[in-house]
Amino acid sequence: MTILSITDLSKKFNGTHAVKNMDYQFTPHQCIALIGPNGAGKTTTLRMIAGLLQPTSGNIIFEQNKNMDRRMLIGYLPQHPVFYSWMTGSEFLTYSGQLGGLSKAKSRQRCKELLDIVGIIDAKDKRISNYSGGMRQRLGIAQAIIHKPKLLMLDEPVSSLDPIGRREVLTLMEDLKKEMTVLFSTHILSDADEISDELILLRNGEIIESGKMKELRQKYQTTKITLQFAESQAFYEEKVATLANVRNTLVEKDSVQVITNDITKARKEILQQAVQEDWPLLTFKLEQASLEEMFMKAVNHS
């Protein structure tokens, strides 16, 4: 099921494309990382979807709610949210709820629920100026989901946080995807790797790769096996090279490097042959491509 479709979405600033011909279909309860270097077009994309920036061309359609005001379906936390630091977390959220049209009583009720959801209920009466970076981000997320949106968009939500704050916010994002779709931008690959189900790789405003993490890993994954033999690496390299699931081999110093596309089959084949022919195998080590390597490959292929 698709909740949001973007088709042929483009934005030009002074004749130059910041986002170009973007297509993507968003499904419910997924966490999608919009990833790319500085200036790739991440913020521009999020601001267009949020309705804060007019696209130059293209369409943004909420499939099941075509006639609803898009702002009611989206929660958005900008990269540098502004808080009234002299307010307490509780005051800030209640005030935000009222600004969004809730009655004072309803807003108070929702504020309590939200502080609980984002895990800062114990700090509800503290001034925001005394909040840590992670607590501020969680308060920002609470504000963004006050109206129970279907899509929550977060612009670089963890980039400026220390490891503890980062962990807290990533965990919260994982929890929230049970209730809504979460789209977040980042240039930190390990954050995307940790929690996202899908990935959109952007470069110069264009999607150069996208899809489910699992499928992307399969597509770009080259698994390397390092083998070490007690004697003559070159002799055993030749034997390994004849196996059906081995793509490439190379003798490197005192080891044999094996490249394969199907790690499960290759592992089985190598070990079976080693037992059958009594190979003097000293080391068998698997190394999988990291997301970073995957990203570099996608960039180089495009």
Task: Figure out which of the listed residues 6, 18, 128, 180 binds ligand ATP, where binding follows CB under 6 A.
Answer: 18
d(CA 152, CA 161): 19
Nearer to ligand ATP, 197 or 206 (CB): 206
Number of residues that bind ligand ATP (CB under 6 A): 11
Residue 38 DSSP SS3: coil
User: Which residue in 7, 5, 19 sits closest to 58, CA to CA?
Assistant: 7
Cβ 32 to ligand ATP, closest distance in Å? 15
The nearest distance, CB 37 to ligand ATP, in angstroms, is 7
Q: In what order do the strands lie in the sheet with 181-186?
A: 74-77, 151-155, 181-186, 31-35, 198-203, 206-212
Considering the complex, what minimum distance in angstroms separates the CB of residue 200 from ligand ATP?
12
Q: Which of 2, 13, 190, 238 binds ligand ATP (CB under 6 A)?
A: 13
| Residue 125 buriedness (CB in 10 A; 0-12 / 13-18 / 19+) | exposed
**Binding of ligand ATP by 10 (CB under 6 A):** no
* Smaller CB separation from ligand ATP, 16 or 248: 16
157: alpha, beta or left? (left if phi > 0; alpha if psi -120 to 50) = alpha
69-to-62, 65, 72, 150 alpha-carbon distances in Å: 10, 9, 6, 12
By CB under 6 A, residue 43 contacts ligand ATP: yes
Return the residue of 8, 39, 250, 264 that touches ligand ATP, per CB under 6 A. 39
- Which 54-113 positions form the footprint of ligand ATP (CB under 6 A)? none
Q: Rule CB under 6 A: say whether 200 interacts with ligand ATP.
A: no
In angstroms, the CA 171 to CA 232 distance is: 50
Tokens 């002299």, located at residue: 86
Which range, of 34-42, 134-142, 258-266, 291-299, touches ligand ATP by CB under 6 A?
Answer: 34-42
Shorter beta-carbon distance to ligand ATP: residue 187 or 239: 187
Binding site for ligand ATP (CB under 6 A): 13, 18, 36, 38-44, 187
